Amino acid sequence: MSDYNALMAFVRETEALSQVAGRLGWDQETMMPDGATPQRAEEHAAMASVLHARHTDPRIGDWLARITPETDVERANLRHLRRSYARTVKVPARLATELARTTSLAHRVWAKARAEEDVQSFLPLLEQVVALRREEAAAVAGDTDPYSALLDDYEPEATGDGIATLFDTMRPRLVALRAAILDRPAPPALDGNFDHAGQLDLARTLALTFGYDLGHGRIDTAVHPFSSGSGLDVRITTRAEATDPFNCIYSTIHEVGHAAYEQNIDRAYLLTPLGAGVSMGVHESQSRIYENQLGRSRAFCGWLYGQMRDRFGDFGVGEEGFWALVNRVSDGFIRTEADEVQYNLHVMLRFDLERALIAGDLAVGDLEAAWNDRFAADFGFAVDKPSNGVLQDVHWSEGLFGYFPTYSLGNVYAGCLHQALRRDVPQLDAALAQGRTAPATDWLRENVQRHGGLYRPAEVITQAAGMAPTAEPLLDYLEAKFGAIYGL
């Protein structure tokens, strides 16, 4: 067997084990009996230990040193494997173990702190997490920027400076758009109760409408919607809250975007580094374009309103009113509940704070005050309690520094892709108005999804959009859409 084939056989087995570990997570959120928690922790730890040993296996280094790739696929596989192995060997085993243990503990303490609105109880552990991640960043970055070293793990080749520049171009137009919208009378909020079974039935219809393949996936309910798995087994979850059917509808479409990306990757890449979405940003571009540019479009909302009426009866707002309802902009504390306009402002706040934490320019003890000051400055009203402020997101407790900006990067990529899609498929609205998304999802599969990890993140977007990614298409789209809804 050639060195390349030997390496790939090893990698393929490792990827299969990663899928098993991932499915264990899925099971925990959907199927696991409550009393199994302590045993499950040992099962997770055992799988993590097996995977860590494989990721740091010195044979990988030997193979990589000997292989000269010969095809584009080989070159792309080697690019991924060299990246991740180089990163892995720079992090001492002691640090990896401490990070795993500390974030696991911090996650539990954070959940309790959030429930009890008690920031102080969380800070000592957050301090440890920040210190460990700074140590990791320094080890990986060498002479380069530590924050970028963390970001690079989620979005290869992105940098802190690049994101900061991007956000500088976005911020003024988003702030202006937000101010103009909030200056107008808000459409009334949705009122009523929407039964559980009807919502789940609609979720299933929507998943199929957006091309989700139930032969290679399944839909269950969970506290937090998510997509899980790669290749031939990509599962999603949703949830139904009686007073908020839009939560069920748009989380489902969002997760289908993630899942369809995984399901539509070229099958030849199964269980290799090319067989999964190439970055968090590109992943989020798929979930966002499904959810927002398609799912919240005027044309699709016309069809969706009919689906709602069929299941829940008429609630008398008309198609235009329904579209406005779905795209309602109002003050709020919570990032995950934010509309398309304000969402990126929530991300920018987190990006600046976490970058300062990792740079050592902000102490963990000063984080809450910094959050509250920045929130008041950006949103014009005060945080009322920690669960609406610095404790609202799970990410930092899990050590996810450098992750938040990939959400906005996803929005930016989605804006670019949407512009190209509209150019290539001029009749798209006629299809969406009939609940047919295939002209859009086929275009995305062909231009983005099928490539998996073959190209770099910025490359795959550039090729598909016919331009290097910038924020302009997203901002143009937001100004046009919300201008129409709010009569700006």
Burial class (CB in 10 A: 0-12, 13-18, 19+), 331: exposed
- Phi and psi at 221, nearest 5°, equal -105, 150
Token pair 């087995």 is found at: 13
Task: Give the sign of the dihedral formed by CA 275, CA 279, CA 284, CA 289.
Answer: negative
Per DSSP bridges, beta strands 219-221 and 235-238 are: parallel
Per DSSP bridges, beta strands 235-238 and 227-228 are: antiparallel
Q: Does 31 bind its own copies (CB under 8 A)?
A: yes
Selected range binding its own copies among 27-35, 127-135, 284-292, 354-362, rule: CB under 8 A: 27-35
- Between residues 30 and 463, which has the closer beta carbon with respect to its own copies? 30
Query: Shortest distance, CB of residue 17 to its own copies, whole angstroms?
Result: 5
Query: Shortest distance, CB of residue 15 to its own copies, whole angstroms?
Result: 9
Per DSSP bridges, beta strands 219-221 and 227-228 are: unpaired
- Between residues 41 and 430, which has the closer beta carbon with respect to its own copies? 41
CA distance 217 to 210: 14
Binding mask 220-259 for its own copies (x = CB under 8 A): -----------xxx-x------------------------
Q: Which of 136, 155, 255, 354 is catalytic?
A: 255
Q: What distances in angstroms separate CA 63 from CA 1, 53, 60, 73, 452, one per listed residue? A: 12, 16, 5, 17, 23
- Between residues 27 and 74, which has the closer beta carbon with respect to its own copies? 27
Q: Does 23 bind its own copies (CB under 8 A)?
A: yes
Q: Does 100 bind its own copies (CB under 8 A)?
A: no
Residue type present at position 460: V
Residue 255 among the catalytic residues: yes
- Phi and psi at 265, nearest 5°, equal -70, 140
Q: Does 215 bind its own copies (CB under 8 A)?
A: yes
Q: Using the rule CB under 8 A, which residue among 214, 268, 382, 438 binds its own copies?
A: 214
What b/e sequence results for 104-134 when a residue is b if at least 16 CB atoms lie within 10 Å of its CB, and e otherwise? bebeebbeebbeeeebeebbebbbbbbebbb
CA distance 77 to 75: 6
* 249, two tokens: 């509808």
Q: Using the rule CB under 8 A, which residue among 36, 186, 189, 363 binds its own copies?
A: 36
CA distance 267 to 236: 20
- Between residues 213 and 429, which has the closer beta carbon with respect to its own copies? 213
Query: Shortest distance, CB of residue 271 to its own copies, whole angstroms?
Result: 6
Q: What distances in angstroms separate CA 336 from CA 251, 276, 404, one per listed residue? A: 10, 24, 12
Q: Using the rule CB under 8 A, which residue among 34, 70, 183, 361 binds its own copies?
A: 34
Number of chain residues interacting with its own copies (CB under 8 A)? 39
- Between residues 216 and 311, which has the closer beta carbon with respect to its own copies? 216
Token pair 């700074």 is found at: 134
Q: Using the rule CB under 8 A, which residue among 132, 271, 347, 409 binds its own copies?
A: 271
Q: Does 35 bind its own copies (CB under 8 A)?
A: yes
Q: Does 20 bind its own copies (CB under 8 A)?
A: yes
Binding mask 49-88 for its own copies (x = CB under 8 A): xx--------------------------------------
Query: Shortest distance, CB of residue 333 to its own copies, whole angstroms?
Result: 36
CA distance 175 to 180: 9
CA distance 279 to 294: 21
Selected range binding its own copies among 34-42, 296-304, 366-374, 462-470, rule: CB under 8 A: 34-42
Q: Does 452 bind its own copies (CB under 8 A)?
A: no
**Do residues 270 and 232 touch, judged by C-beta distance below 8 A?**
yes
**List of residues contacting its own copies (CB under 8 A):** 12-14, 16-17, 19-20, 23-24, 27, 31-40, 42-43, 45-47, 49-50, 213-218, 231-233, 235, 270-271
Catalytic residues: 255
